[in-house]
Amino acid sequence: MKLKEAPLRGAVLTFLRDIYPEGAERRTIISVLYQYHDYEPIKQALEYLVDKEYVSRKDVPHPYRAGDNISIYRITARGIDLLDGLIADPAVLIPREE
C-alpha cells in the first residue's frame, strides 16, 4: 500500500539531514516545504516522524515572546539510518539520487 504522505516524510528527513547536526524551527521547515505541500500535512509529517523517533523535537522558550515556546526539530541517528537504507519503513519514501 502506498501512502500519499510517504514522499513528504522523506522530504522532511532529507531537509533535516542537509542541515545536520543543526536543527530547524517548525516554521522554517514549513516555509521550505510549503511551495509543494500544504501546512497541515507538513505538521502531521513532523509529528509522525517524532513519534517514530526519526526526528527529535525540543520545545524551547521563544526568544522574544514571554510565555511562548518554539519547537526545534532535529534528525536522529535512527532517521539517518533510514535515509542511508540501513533500516526500512514503507511509510517513509526516501528520495534516491540517480
pLDDT tens for each residue of the chain, 98 residues long: 356 777 899 999 999 999 999 999 999 999 999 988 899 999 999 999 999 999 999 999 877 777 788 999 999 999 999 999 999 999 998 877 65
| Residue 94 placed within a domain | no
| Residue 97 placed within a domain | no
DSSP for residue 69: E
| Residue 96 placed within a domain | no
Q: Which residues of 21-48 are buried (b: 16+ CB within 10 A; e: fewer)?
A: eebbebeebbebbeeebeeeebeebbeb
| Residue 64 placed within a domain | yes
Cell reading at 22 = 543543526
Do residues 33 and 42 touch, judged by C-beta distance below 8 A? yes
Tally of domains in the chain: 1
Cell reading at 43 = 505538521
The phi and psi torsions of 57 (rounded to 5 degrees) equal -125, 135
Instruction: Residue 75: give its domain's CATH number.
Output: 1.10.10.10
The phi and psi torsions of 69 (rounded to 5 degrees) equal -120, 155
- Taking all residues of the chain, what is their mean pLDDT, rounded to a whole number? 90
| Residue 33 placed within a domain | yes
Cell reading at 14 = 532529507
Range of the domain at 79: 6-83
| Residue 95 placed within a domain | no
Dist CA 18 CA 41 (whole Å) = 21
